[in-house]
Structure 1
Amino acid sequence: MPGGTYTLLVAMPERTTITVGALGEHVFEPGWYAYTGSAFGTGGFARIERHRAVDDGENDTRHWHIDYLLGHAETTIAAVAWTVEADIECVVADALPGQPVAGFGASDCNCESHLAFALDRERLWRAIRGAHRAFAL
């Protein structure tokens, strides 16, 4: 299966505190979150199905920061955008509007964050799709 860069649009309906691995406790406000990641390893975009399994409660393993957010009972993956064979994770994450969640998903790069928070679902989703188109090879 091919790999590339993907962004998950995640709904969080209520304020909650989640312990996110080594990042520690973080308060997540109700609204919309955009998580951008890469899937260049074994299986490629199968990683998205793994995220869905964590979101659905079918997988309890927590490897990445996003697993802690998706593992919360109230979160839901609302949509996914991806770009095949394009290593654009950092530029897409940086291009998204909203408030970055400091350090989230960015432990292997120099980015502030790979998770952005916004109240407006449509604005965030348009920005996600636009960033994937703009930075695609």
Structure 2
Amino acid sequence: MKGVYVLLMKLNNDTTITIGKLGTFLFKKGFYAYTGSALGTGGFRRVTRHFNVAKGENTTRRWHIDYLLHHLEVICAVTVPTGDDLECQLSTELAAVMCGIPGFGCSDCSCPSHLFFSDTDITGMVTNTCKNLTGNESIIISPPN
């Protein structure tokens, strides 16, 4: 299955993290949403890869998110089946209500960010945003224990 997704994560303490060549950032305690596209041949298997990086089972650092995942608790992935490339539009919607981390996850597009911060739980808001954007119900995938 293909579509777009939002990884929902929680950081329990303020933490300084180096994100590859992007640089070093202070990430505040709170909730984070990372938008991604799963339109390639692997589809939503990309979400499983993110879960594996977070657990330390995959140590390859290919994308900005790979440098961040093992510092955070991954809550879930909100996945939305679609054949349309809506990753940037979804990022724009989230940027209207959350603070973006400049340059994160968007080196292949002109978006200011694909990672967003909130100090409150954002699960319901993200799920509603995805449904409003695509018209499709979200499928919530939790990381394996």
Report 1:1-137 matches (<5 A): 2-72=1-71, 75-85=72-82, 86-96=84-94, 97-121=97-121, 124-136=122-134
Aligned pair count reads 132
Where does structure 2 lack aligned partners over 5 or more consecutive residues?
136-145
Structure 2 letter corresponding to 1:132: C
CA distance in 1, matches of 2:31, 2:39: 26
CA distance in 2, matches of 1:76, 1:83: 21
**Segments of 4+ moved more than 2 angstroms:** none
Q: Deviations along 1:73-93, whole A, 9 cap, x unmatched?
A: xx1110211111232111111
Relative to the length of structure 2, the TM-score reads 0.86
Q: Deviations along 1:53-92, whole A, 9 cap, x unmatched?
A: 01111111111111111032xx111021111123211111
Percent of paired sites with the same residue: 43
Q: Displacement of 1:42 after TM fit?
A: 2.4
CA distance in 1, matches of 2:69, 2:44: 17
Where does structure 1 lack aligned partners over 5 or more consecutive residues?
none
Asked if the contact 1:60/1:71 (under 8 Å) is kept, the reply is no
CA distance in 2, matches of 1:132, 1:113: 17
